[in-house]
Amino acid sequence: MAKRSLTKLRRDVGFGLGLRLRKLNYWLTAKVAMAIMAMLRRLPPDKALAFADGAARRIGPLVGRHRVALNNLRHAYPEKSEDEIRTIALDMWGNMARLAAEYIFLDQLFDYVPHTKTSGRIEVSDTSIERFERIAHEDKPHILFTGHLGNFELLPVAAATFGMSITALFRPPNNPYLANYINSTRSASMGGLLPSSTGASFALASVLEKSGNIGVLVDQKFTRGVETTFFGRKCQSNPVLGMLARQFDCDVYPARCVRLPDNRFRLEIEEKLVLPRGPRGNVDVVNTTQLLCDVVERWVREDPGQWMWFHKRWQINGRPRNVSSRH
Q: At 211, is the pLDDT very low, low, confident or very high (cuts 50, 70, 90)?
A: very high
Buried (b) or exposed (e) across 111-126, using 16+ Cβ within 10 A?
ebeeeeeeeebbebee
Residue 75 covered by a domain: no
My answer on whether 22 and 156 are in the same domain is no
Q: Which residue has the higher pLDDT, 12 or 284?
A: 284
Could you tell me if residue 278 is inside a domain? yes
Query: How wide is the angle at C-alpha 44 spanned by C-alphas 43 and 45, nearest 5°?
Result: 110
Closest by CA to 95, choosing from 45, 34, 152, 40, is 152
In a domain, 177, yes or no: yes
**Residue 15: is its pLDDT beyond 60?**
no
Q: Of all residues in the chain, what percent carry a pLDDT higher than 90? A: 62
Contacts of residue 203, Cβ cutoff 8 Å, sequence gap at least 6: 167, 194
129-136 average pLDDT score: 95
Answer whether residue 326 shows pLDDT above 50.
no
CA 191 to chain centre: 16
Q: Which H or E element spans position 244? A: helix 240-248
Q: Judge whether 325 lies within some domain.
A: no
Rg of the chain on CA atoms, in Å: 21
* Same domain for 259 and 149: yes
Angle formed by the axes of helices 240-248 and 200-209, to 10°?
30
89, 309 Cβ separation under 8 angstroms: yes
Check whether residue 31 and residue 160 sit in a common domain.
no
Asked if residue 295 and residue 147 are part of one domain, the reply reads yes
pTM (2 d.p.)? 0.86
237 lies in some domain: yes
What is the full DSSP assignment across 4-59? Answer: HHHHHHHHHHHHHHHHHHHHHHHHHHHHHHHHHHHHHHTS-HHHHHHHHHHHHHHH
Name the least confident of 92-101, 130-139, 173-182. Answer: 173-182
Instruction: Count Cβ neighbours within 10 Å for each residue of 82-109 and write b for 16 or more, e otherwise.
Output: eeebbebbbbbbbbbbbbbbbbbbbeeb
**Does the pLDDT value for residue 189 go beyond 60?**
no
Instruction: Give the residue from 307, 322, 294 showing the smallest Cα distance to 72.
Output: 307
Q: Are residues 246 and 128 in the same domain?
A: yes
How confident is the model at residue 168, as a pLDDT?
Answer: 80
Domain count for the chain: 2
Would you say the C-alpha torsion 137, 217, 290, 281 has a positive or negative sign?
Answer: negative
Please indicate, yes or no, if residue 277 is contained in any of the structural domains.
yes
Residue 258 has pLDDT above 60, yes or no: yes
pLDDT at 121: 94
- The boundaries of the domain holding residue 30 are 1-42
At position 24, the amino acid (one-letter code) is L
Query: Which DSSP state fits 277?
Result: B
One domain for residues 37 and 133: no
Residue 302 in any domain: the answer is yes
> Is 302 in the same domain as 165?
yes
**Residue 145 and residue 152 in contact, taking contact as beta carbons nearer than 8 Å:** no
Question: What is the Cα 39 distance to its own chain's centre?
Answer: 26
The answer, yes or no, to whether residue 16 has pLDDT greater than 60, is yes
Q: Is the pLDDT of residue 36 over 70?
A: yes
Number of H helices, E strands in the chain: 11, 9
Q: Could you read off the pLDDT of 217-229 as tens digits, one per residue? A: 999 998 889 999 9
Q: Are 267 and 150 in contact (CB under 8 A)?
A: no
Mean pLDDT over 271-282 rounds to 95
Residue 269 CB contacts under 8 Å (≥ 6 apart), including other chains: 128, 131, 132, 135, 144, 253, 254, 255
Identify whether residues 37 and 173 lie together within a single domain. Answer: no
Angle between helices 126-137 and 154-161 (to 10 degrees): 70
Question: CB neighbours (10 Å) of residue 141?
Answer: 22
Q: What is the pLDDT of residue 179?
A: 67
Is it the case that residue 171 has pLDDT exceeding 70? no
Q: For residues 201 and 240, is the Cβ–Cβ distance under 8 A? A: yes
| Same domain, yes or no: 146 and 271 | yes
Burial class (CB within 10 angstroms; exposed 0-12, middle 13-18, buried 19+) of 184: exposed
Quote the CA–CA distance of 224 and 235 in Å, as a whole number: 10
In terms of domains, do 35 and 132 share one? no
Q: pLDDT tens digits, residue range 63-79? A: 999 999 999 999 999 99
On whether residue 16 sits in a domain, the answer given is yes
* Distance (Å, whole) CA 133 – CA 128: 9
- Is residue 279 over pLDDT 90? yes
**145 in the same domain as 18:** no
Regarding whether 297 and 154 lie in a shared domain, the answer is yes
Mean pLDDT rounded to a whole number for the chain: 87
Q: How confident is the model at residue 169 (pLDDT cuts 50, 70, 90)?
A: confident
